[in-house]
Amino acid sequence: MDVTAIIDSLNDAQRQAVSAPSRSMLVLAGAGSGKTRVLVHRIAWLIKIERVSPHNILAVTFTNKAAKEMRGRVEDLLNISARSMWIGTFHGLAHRLLRQHSEEAKLPNTFQVIDSDDQLRLIKRLMKAMNIDDTRWPPKQMVWFINAQKDEGIRASHIQETGDLYQQKQLEIYRAYEDLCKRSGLVDFAELLLLAFETLRDNAELLAFYRNRFQHVHVDEFQDTNTIQYAWLRLLTDGKDNLFVVGDDDQSIYGWRGAKIENMFNFQKQYPNHLLIRLEQNYRSTGNILKASNALIACNEGRMGKELHTDDGDGDLISLYSAFNEQDEAYFVVERIRKWVAEGNSRADAAILYRSNAQSRLFEEKLMATGTPYRVYGGLRFFDRMEIKNALAYLHLTAHKGNDSAFERIINTPTRGIGTKTIDEIRQLAREQQITLWQAMISLMKAGHFTPRAANALKGFVQIINGLAEQSEGAELYQQVKNAIEKSSLIEFYKKEKGDKGEARVENLEELVNAARQFDYEESNEEDQTELDIFLAHAALEAGDAQGDAFEDCVQLMTLHSAKGLEFPLVFMVGLEEGLFPSQQSVDDLARLEEERRLCYVGMTRAMKHLYMTYAESRRLYGKENYPRPSRFLKEIPVEQLQEIRLRASVSKPVTPVKSSKSTMGTSGRYQLGQRVNHEKFGEGVVLQVDGDGAQERVQVNFANAGMKWLMLSYAKLEVL
Partner DNA sequence: TTGTTCCAGCTTTTT
Partner DNA sequence: GCTGGAACAA
> Which residues are marked as active site?
35-36, 220-221, 251, 606
Q: How far apart (Å, rounded) are the C-alpha atoms in residues 720 and 311?
A: 54
- Phi-psi bin for 185: left (phi > 0), alpha (psi -120 to 50), beta? left
Query: Exposure string (b/e) for 249-264, b if CB count within 10 Å is 16 or more?
Result: bbbbbbbeebbbbebb
The backbone torsions φ and ψ at residue 99, rounded to the nearest 5 degrees and listed phi first, read -60, -45
Q: How far apart (Å, rounded) are the C-alpha atoms in residues 546 and 715?
A: 37
Q: How far apart (Å, rounded) are the C-alpha atoms in residues 499 and 187?
A: 37
Residues 378-407 interacting with DNA (rule: CB under 7 A): 378
Residues 331-350 interacting with DNA (rule: CB under 7 A): none
According to the binding rule CB under 7 A, does residue 626 interact with DNA?
no
Distances (CA, A) of 231 to 194, 236, 359: 10, 9, 38
Minimum distance, C-beta of residue 188 to DNA, in the bound complex (Å): 8
According to the binding rule CB under 7 A, does residue 356 interact with DNA?
yes
What's 147's DSSP letter? H
Q: Which stretch binds DNA (CB under 7 A): 154-162, 618-626, 667-675, 711-719?
A: 618-626
Q: Return the number of the residue (537 or 687) whose C-beta is nearest DNA.
A: 537
Q: Please work out the total of residues on this chain that contact DNA, with binding judged by CB under 7 A.
A: 41
- Pick from 355, 385, 389, 610 the residue near DNA by CB under 7 A: 355
According to the binding rule CB under 7 A, does residue 594 interact with DNA?
no
According to the binding rule CB under 7 A, does residue 91 interact with DNA?
yes
According to the binding rule CB under 7 A, does residue 89 interact with DNA?
yes
Q: Return the number of the residue (56 or 556) whose C-beta is nearest DNA.
A: 556
Q: Which stretch binds DNA (CB under 7 A): 57-65, 313-321, 394-402, 644-652?
A: 57-65
Residues 419-448 interacting with DNA (rule: CB under 7 A): 419-420
Q: How far apart (Å, rounded) are the C-alpha atoms in residues 548 and 699?
A: 46
Minimum distance, C-beta of residue 122 to DNA, in the bound complex (Å): 13
Q: Return the number of the residue (281 or 412) whose C-beta is nearest DNA.
A: 412
Q: How far apart (Å, rounded) are the C-alpha atoms in residues 59 and 93?
A: 10
Q: Return the number of the residue (36 or 696) whose C-beta is nearest DNA.
A: 36
CB neighbourhood size of 68 (10 A)? 15
- Pick from 248, 542, 578, 697 the residue near DNA by CB under 7 A: 542
According to the binding rule CB under 7 A, does residue 115 interact with DNA?
yes
Minimum distance, C-beta of residue 23 to DNA, in the bound complex (Å): 29
According to the binding rule CB under 7 A, does residue 320 interact with DNA?
no
319 contacts 652 by C-beta, under 8 angstroms: yes
According to the binding rule CB under 7 A, does residue 234 interact with DNA?
no
Q: Which stretch binds DNA (CB under 7 A): 50-58, 195-203, 280-288, 584-592?
A: 584-592
Q: Return the number of the residue (314 or 492) whose C-beta is nearest DNA.
A: 492
CB neighbourhood size of 274 (10 A)? 18
Q: CA-based angle 702:703:704, to the nearest 5?
A: 120
Q: Return the number of the residue (459 or 676) whose C-beta is nearest DNA.
A: 459
According to the binding rule CB under 7 A, does residue 543 interact with DNA?
yes
Task: Assign 318 to helix, strand or coil.
Answer: strand
- Pick from 3, 53, 76, 138 the residue near DNA by CB under 7 A: 138
Q: Which stretch binds DNA (CB under 7 A): 267-275, 312-320, 559-567, 639-647?
A: 559-567
Counting Cα atoms < 13 Å in the Cβ hemisphere of 205 gives 2
Query: Exposure string (b/e) for 586-596, b if CB count within 10 Å is 16 or more?
Result: beeeeebbbbb
CA-based end-to-end distance of the chain: 82
Q: What share of the chain is helix, strand, coil (3-state, %, to 5)?
A: 50, 15, 35
Q: Return the number of the residue (311 or 500) whose C-beta is nearest DNA.
A: 500
Q: Return the number of the residue (13 or 126) whose C-beta is nearest DNA.
A: 126
407 contacts 438 by C-beta, under 8 angstroms: yes
Minimum distance, C-beta of residue 589 to DNA, in the bound complex (Å): 9
- Element containing residue 620 per DSSP (H, E): strand 619-621
- Pick from 45, 62, 703, 710 the residue near DNA by CB under 7 A: 62
Q: How far apart (Å, rounded) are the C-alpha atoms in residues 192 and 312?
A: 45
What's 520's DSSP letter? -
According to the binding rule CB under 7 A, does residue 565 interact with DNA?
no
According to the binding rule CB under 7 A, does residue 681 interact with DNA?
no
According to the binding rule CB under 7 A, does residue 65 interact with DNA?
yes
392 contacts 398 by C-beta, under 8 angstroms: no
**C-alpha closest to that of 714 among 662, 648, 638:** 648
According to the binding rule CB under 7 A, does residue 326 interact with DNA?
no
The backbone torsions φ and ψ at residue 243, rounded to the nearest 5 degrees and listed phi first, read -105, 120
According to the binding rule CB under 7 A, does residue 652 interact with DNA?
no
Q: Which stretch binds DNA (CB under 7 A): 164-172, 265-273, 367-375, 582-590?
A: 582-590
According to the binding rule CB under 7 A, does residue 562 interact with DNA?
yes
Minimum distance, C-beta of residue 441 to DNA, in the bound complex (Å): 16
Contact residues for DNA, defined by CB under 7 A = 62-65, 89, 91-92, 115-116, 124, 138, 189, 256-257, 355-358, 378, 412, 415, 417-420, 541-543, 558-559, 561-562, 583, 585-586, 592, 596, 620, 622-624
